[in-house]
Structure 1
Amino acid sequence: MDSTALRVYVRDASLARIGQIDDYTSLNVIPRFNTVGAFTMEIPADSSKAPLLVEGNGLIIRTATGDTAMSGPIRTVDWSRSASDAGTGKLTIGGVDDTGLLAQYTCWPTPTAAIGSQTDSVYKISAVKAETAMRTLVNINAGPGALTARKNTTLTLAADGAHGGTITRQVNQFDNLLTTLADIGNAAAIGFRVVQVGSSLQFQVYAPADRSGIARFSFGLGNLLDASYTTTPPTCTRAVVVAGGQSSPRVCKTYDRTDPLWPSLILEQFVDLTSVDTSSVDLAAQMDQAGAEALTNGAGQGSLAISPIDIPLLRYGRDYQVGDTVAAQLRGGTWYTDVVREVTLACTAADGTKTTATVGGGDSSASTVARIYSYIAQVKKDVARLKTRKAA
């Protein structure tokens, strides 16, 4: 096995480690920032380890340095054979990371009450740190503080690091827990994940680091194989926030944000806060936050894909992680910095691990407009001005 190859261990339904897979032919691991990652693995069907790979068991995937790249349940075990296959064919194992556990739960408006006693229409978060709010939502809806019938006995919470700014918001009744956490985390520029630690699944919140001074990729440096970027137009440039109107007077306010590629484009979007009592002392804060989230979620998006090469002085997992900020030199020689949204670790036991990173785009970032999108807009304007000068 190559020294950089990923190590794969199998766990049973109780999270106990029951064996190691050291004869896989290929393995793709895709950690993602603030959403569910995935893995696929191919292995000969006649492998002596094949009986371990069944639905209900899971994988713990570690880097060559011993860090956990991902852990999660096996969802699919598919068999196939072609004329060129040796032996009895191959198995393709698919699964998701343990962060997917959060998608199985909703946010109850009154988490301490039975389902027949849900009298509130929202769950309110008032002036707490973003991490504290996220931990509370996980705890009372799925973790140790949840109702017995809802509690996941394998789920624990890491210590509260008080990451992120102070937030005030309302969570609509039965909103998906994972989606709600992603909204809070992306707005606060903090990350979260669920990963196996010992015999439990631990919910962790972390503050990504700015590695742009260290993690720098360019063709000139020889550590970049390819790069490309794409853009997606905005869906909202004006948020129309409406509060009250049921048991209290209606209050309406608009929030505007100019798109850098289409500065004259106006796209209005209704933001429903009619469940909020307009006599609330934090009405303005709730409306401001709802407007900002709608504009961020509806902003034009850019996606940058780079294929960096791990070199002794710069490696994924050691020098940068998903969620960290890195730098890449692109069109025109300009250095661009943004968040690593996704990484694909493609590994074979013989050739080791190759890394492809997706930077920017994806879920909305904490910036007013995703920085990659602003960067691409500026590049296109600069190119247009250059063409105009040549034409003249």
Structure 2
Amino acid sequence: MDLYVADRSFNKLGTVNNRTSLRWVRRYRKTGEFEIHCPATSQNIEKLQRGNVIIKPGDPEAGYISYRNLQEDNDGKELLVVKGQFLTGYLNRRIIWGTEIINGLVEVAMRTLVTKNAISPTNAERIITGLSLGTLMNYTETADYQTSYANLTDELENLSNLSEIGFRVRYDGSTKSMQFETYKGLDRTAGQSVNPRCIFSKDYNNVEKQEFTESDSSFRNVCLVGGIGEGADRKLTTVGSATGLDRFEVFSDQKSLSNVVDSVTLTDAQYQALLQGKGSEVLTQNKKICVFDSSIDKNANRKYKEDYDLGDIVTNINNKWGVRLDTRIEEIEEVYEDGNEKINVVFGDEAPTLIDKIKQLRKG
């Protein structure tokens, strides 16, 4: 498999010569990443510059190089290691320039945020050249949401978590351009009959290794949200319900969430809806962790990108552990090394990373 190298305008410069290793990590709700190891030849050093783009034929994603490392191994051979993010990472270079109130369809809100801050911003210097909107899929998920001056990618991830809608920036080789698109995987679980089913189990001989994790250490299911006001006059609302030991409470301080936007005062109902949206956001960030991490046999009865793909909801079974889980494919890591190909799949939401937790603290 050849990997092509292109400049920022997607003009091809050639291929990666004598690659020894490739990690290609696709993610449903976050920006994917890649890592390439190859000999430090003059051709590779010249082409694999920071900012240049890696194109993997047949993939909807491409990636840009953000890291280079030149080194010698124990035998004195010179090696070049490059890493980078998929094109969706370009959106991480933008913030929400001002205040945006989202009261309606999540898909439309995602597209609006990208349009205002990367495609057609009022300041032409903020335009990401070559980026446009993909096809409107007419998804029906809704949200009440307000955001100000936050990172654009972070807000897209939040909306994805609220709605289960995935997003990415797709590379279009025919036009040398990029498209921001929303998408959903297919329901391929054992209990449905609309799509071909996909079941992963050692009993089916399509899984080489499984790891299952469940945790409620950070779980919260009732959120008290505090808005503007002091004491008895403070605006409060509650999201979620549970009783007894099954009730896990959390407080979200939204005192900075104003009820005045562009000199217009929101009604109590409109402001309560925004507080409800903040509460829902907090609860999605504090879900129970239930995840299968599996190494898939690529030669088995389920073929990657034919029988399952990123974003699909599938069934995982381990009868010995007594575990059966219907969950979404959140991440697929493709590893090409020493002439071999390995596919590692993450099913379900993983525990938040330290960076995720820091972002949550900053948002309040």
TM-score w.r.t. the length of structure 2 is 0.84
Alpha-carbon distance, 1:42 to partner: 0.7
* 2:143 counterpart (147, 153, 167): 167
Match of 1:135 in 2: 111
Q: Alignment partner of 2:188: what SS?
A: coil
Alpha-carbon distance, 1:350 to partner: 2.1
Alpha-carbon distance, 1:296 to partner: 2.0
**How much identity, in percent, do the aligned residues show?**
25
On the 8 A contact 2:17/2:38 being kept in 1, the answer is no
On the 8 A contact 2:310/2:329 being kept in 1, the answer is yes
Structure 1 position 216 matched with structure 2 position 205: no
Match of 1:234 in 2: 218
For residues 127 and 313 of structure 2, the distance between their equivalents in structure 1, rounded to whole angstroms, comes to 35
For residues 282 and 21 of structure 1, the distance between their equivalents in structure 2, rounded to whole angstroms, comes to 54
Alpha-carbon distance, 1:280 to partner: 4.1
Structure 1 position 244 matched with structure 2 position 228: yes
Structure 1 position 24 matched with structure 2 position 19: yes
Match of 1:144 in 2: 120
On the 8 A contact 2:292/2:346 being kept in 1, the answer is yes
Match of 1:189 in 2: 164
How many residue pairs were aligned?
A: 335
On the 8 A contact 2:188/2:312 being kept in 1, the answer is yes
On the 8 A contact 1:239/1:271 being kept in 2, the answer is no
Please, what is the CA RMSD of the aligned residues? 2.6
Alpha-carbon distance, 1:126 to partner: 2.6
For residues 39 and 314 of structure 2, the distance between their equivalents in structure 1, rounded to whole angstroms, comes to 38
Q: Deviations over 1:194-231 (max 9, x none)?
A: 12213112111112211224321111111111111223
TM-score w.r.t. the length of structure 1 is 0.78
**Corresponding letter in the other structure for 2:139:** H
Match of 1:341 in 2: 330
Match of 1:79 in 2: 70
For residues 313 and 231 of structure 1, the distance between their equivalents in structure 2, rounded to whole angstroms, comes to 28
For residues 169 and 14 of structure 1, the distance between their equivalents in structure 2, rounded to whole angstroms, comes to 35
Q: Deviations over 1:57-109 (max 9, x none)?
A: 120123xxx233x3111111211222335xx4211111111111111111122
On the 8 A contact 2:228/2:254 being kept in 1, the answer is no
- For structure 1, the 5+ residue unaligned runs are 1-5, 110-121, 365-392
Closer, same or farther in 2 for the Cα pair 1:270/1:49, shift >3 Å? closer
Q: Alignment partner of 2:283: what SS?
A: helix
For residues 135 and 20 of structure 2, the distance between their equivalents in structure 1, rounded to whole angstroms, comes to 38
Alpha-carbon distance, 1:241 to partner: 1.1
Closer, same or farther in 2 for the Cα pair 1:256/1:158, shift >3 Å? closer
Q: Alignment partner of 2:156: what SS?
A: helix
On the 8 A contact 2:222/2:247 being kept in 1, the answer is no
Match of 1:272 in 2: 254
- For structure 2, the 5+ residue unaligned runs are 191-196, 260-264, 353-364
Match of 1:375 in 2: none
Match of 1:376 in 2: none
Most deviating of 141-150 and 229-238: 229-238
Q: Alignment partner of 2:325: what SS?
A: strand
